[in-house]
Amino acid sequence: MKPSLKRRLWHQITGMLVPVWLILGIVSVVLYRGSSFGPWLMVHLLLLGALSTAILVWSQHFADSLLKNTAPGGRSWLGVRLTVHTVGAAMVMIGITGAWWHVVLTGGILVGLNAIVHATILVRQLRGALPARFAPLVRYYIAAAGCLVVGVTLGIWMAHPGNSAAGDYYDRLYVAHIGLNLLGWVGLTVIGTVALLLPTVLRSRVLSTTRAAARPTLPTLLAGLVVLGAGAYADSRIITAAGVLIYLVGFARVLAELVGHVRRSPAVSYSGWSITAALAWFAVCALGFGAVVVTATSWADAAAGLKTLVPYFAVGFGGQIMIGALSFLIPVVLGGGPRASKATACELDRAGLFRASVVNGALVLTLLPVPHFVAAALWAVLLTTLAAFIVLMVRALRTNRKNRTPPGAGLPPLVRDVAETPAPQPAPRTSMLVAAAATLALTLAVGVALEPSNTSLASGPGASGHTTTVDVTMIDTRFSPDTIDVPVGDTLVITLTNADGMLHDLVFDNGVKSGSVKPRATTTVNVGMIDADRSGWCALGGHRLLGMLLTVNAIGADSTASADSNADSDASASGDIDPTAEPGSDFVARDARLAPAASATVHTSTMTVSNTETEVAPGITQTLWTYNKTAPGPTLRGTVGDVFEITFVNAGTIGHSLDFHAGSLAPDKPMQTIDPGEELTYRFTATRSGIWMYHCSTMPMSVHIANGMFGAVIIDPPGLTAVDSEYVLIQSEFYLGRQGEEGDAVKVQAQLPDLVTFNGYANQYVAAPLTATVGEKVRIWVLDAGPNVGSSFHVVGGQFDTVFSEGEYLLRDGGSTGTGGAQTLALAPAQGGFVELTLTEAGTYPFVSHVMSDAEKGARGLIVVTD
Q: What is the pLDDT of residues 168-196, one digit of tens each?
A: 677 889 899 999 999 999 999 999 888 88
Q: What angle do CA 689, 690, 695 make, to 5 degrees?
A: 115
Ramachandran sector of residue 475 (left: φ over 0; alpha: ψ -120 to 50; beta: rest) = beta
Mean pLDDT of 619-629: 93
Higher-confidence residue of 376 and 9: namely: 376
Mean pLDDT of 733-747: 89
Residues 47 and 171 in one domain: yes
pLDDT at 132: 67
Q: 3-state class of 511 per DSSP?
A: coil
Residues 557 and 632 in one domain: no
548 is in an annotated binding site: no
Of 34-48, 131-145, 488-502, the least confident:
34-48
User: Which of 549, 568, 587 is where one domain is finished?
Assistant: 568
User: Which of 299, 334, 369 is where one domain is finished?
Assistant: 334
CB atoms within 10 A of CB 83: 13
pLDDT band at 308 (very low <50, low <70, confident <90, very high): confident
Residues 327 and 340 in one domain: no
Q: Is the pLDDT of residue 291 over 50?
A: yes
33-36's contacts with Cβ under 8 Å and 24+ in sequence apart are 34/515, 34/523, 34/524, 35/515, 35/523, 36/498, 36/515, 36/516, 36/517, 36/518, 36/521, 36/522, 36/523
Mean pLDDT (the chain) is 85
User: Which of 334, 367, 393 is where one domain is finished?
Assistant: 334
Using only C-alpha atoms, the chain has a radius of gyration, in whole angstroms, of: 35
Q: How many domains does the chain have?
A: 4
**Residue-number span of the structural domain to which 653 is assigned:** 602-866
Residues 92 and 37 in one domain: yes
Residues 324 and 344 in one domain: no
pLDDT band at 15 (very low <50, low <70, confident <90, very high): low
pLDDT at 519: 80
Q: Of 867, 823, 776, 23, which is closest to residue 384 (Cα–Cα)?
A: 23
Q: Of 411, 546, 427, which is closest to residue 475 (Cα–Cα)?
A: 546
pLDDT at 424: 46
372 is in an annotated binding site: no
147 is in an annotated binding site: no
Q: What is the percent of the chain with per-residue pLDDT over 90, rounded to a whole number?
A: 45
Q: Contact, 336 vs 404, CB < 8 A? A: yes
pTM: 0.59
**Chain mean position to CA 432:** 41
Examine residue 421 and state whether it is found in any structural domain, yes or no.
Answer: no
Examine residue 311 and state whether it is found in any structural domain, yes or no.
Answer: yes
pLDDT band at 411 (very low <50, low <70, confident <90, very high): very low
Q: Is the pLDDT of residue 455 over 50?
A: no
Mean pLDDT of 29-42: 67
Examine residue 453 and state whether it is found in any structural domain, yes or no.
Answer: no
Examine residue 322 and state whether it is found in any structural domain, yes or no.
Answer: yes
Residues 150 and 286 in one domain: yes
Q: Is the pLDDT of residue 212 over 70?
A: no
pLDDT at 213: 55
Q: Of 605, 604, 609, 631, which is closest to residue 679 (Cα–Cα)?
A: 609
Q: What is the percent of the chain with per-residue pLDDT over 70, rounded to a whole number?
A: 88
CATH number, residue 530: 2.60.40.420
Residues 229 and 370 in one domain: no
Higher-confidence residue of 819 and 503: namely: 819
pLDDT band at 463 (very low <50, low <70, confident <90, very high): low
CB atoms within 10 A of CB 827: 23
pLDDT band at 3 (very low <50, low <70, confident <90, very high): very low
In degrees and rounded to multiples of 5, residue 411 shows phi and psi of: -80, 145
pLDDT at 420: 42
Examine residue 420 and state whether it is found in any structural domain, yes or no.
Answer: no
Q: Contact, 845 vs 771, CB < 8 A? A: no
**Distance between CA 573 and CA 619 in Å, rounded?**
9
**Distance between CA 63 and CA 123 in Å, rounded?**
10
Q: Of 647, 634, 638, 646, which is closest to residue 600 (Cα–Cα)?
A: 638
pLDDT at 811: 94
Q: Is the pLDDT of residue 698 over 80?
A: yes
Q: Contact, 337 vs 404, CB < 8 A? A: yes
Examine residue 415 and state whether it is found in any structural domain, yes or no.
Answer: no
**Distance between CA 772 and CA 777 in Å, rounded?**
9
pLDDT band at 210 (very low <50, low <70, confident <90, very high): low
CB contact burial 242-268 (16+ within 10 A = b; e otherwise): bbbbbbbebbebbbebbeebbeebebb
Q: Contact, 821 vs 802, CB < 8 A? A: no
Residues 339 and 287 in one domain: no
CB atoms within 10 A of CB 475: 14
pLDDT at 405: 66
**Distance between CA 667 and CA 681 in Å, rounded?**
13
709 is in an annotated binding site: yes
**Distance between CA 692 and CA 292 in Å, rounded?**
52
**Distance between CA 420 and CA 417 in Å, rounded?**
8
Q: Contact, 439 vs 381, CB < 8 A? A: yes
* Sequence letter at residue 500: D
* Sequence letter at residue 35: S
Q: Is the pLDDT of residue 560 over 70?
A: no
Q: How far is CA 665 from CA 158, 286, 658, in A?
A: 28, 48, 13
Examine residue 829 and state whether it is found in any structural domain, yes or no.
Answer: yes
Residues 613 and 530 in one domain: no
Q: Contact, 656 vs 698, CB < 8 A? A: yes
Q: Contact, 778 vs 837, CB < 8 A? A: yes
Q: Contact, 555 vs 485, CB < 8 A? A: yes
Q: pLDDT tens, 241-287?
A: 999 999 999 999 888 888 888 888 888 889 999 999 999 999 999 99
474 is in an annotated binding site: no
**Distance between CA 56 and CA 189 in Å, rounded?**
10
pLDDT at 379: 87
pLDDT at 410: 45
44 is in an annotated binding site: no
Mean pLDDT of 30-50: 75
pLDDT at 566: 43
In degrees and rounded to multiples of 5, residue 861 shows phi and psi of: -165, -170
Q: pLDDT tens, 810-856?
A: 999 988 888 999 999 999 999 999 999 999 999 999 999 999 999 99
**Distance between CA 862 and CA 268 in Å, rounded?**
91
**Distance between CA 761 and CA 517 in Å, rounded?**
33
Strand 620-627 versus strand 636-639 pairing type: unpaired
696 is in an annotated binding site: yes
CATH number, residue 289: 1.20.210.10
Q: pLDDT tens, 158-172?
A: 887 655 544 567 788
Residues 729 and 752 in one domain: yes
Residues 748 and 614 in one domain: yes
Mean pLDDT of 119-139: 81
Total number of residues shown for the chain? 867
Higher-confidence residue of 458 and 642: namely: 642
Cβ neighbors of 529 (< 8 A, separation 6 or more) are 452, 453, 456, 459, 462, 463, 489, 490, 491, 492
Residues 351 and 319 in one domain: no
Q: Is the pLDDT of residue 647 over 80?
A: yes
pLDDT at 563: 47
Q: How many CA atoms lie within 13 A of 661 on its CB side?
A: 22
Mean pLDDT of 297-307: 82
pLDDT at 822: 95
Examine residue 472 and state whether it is found in any structural domain, yes or no.
Answer: yes
pLDDT at 863: 96
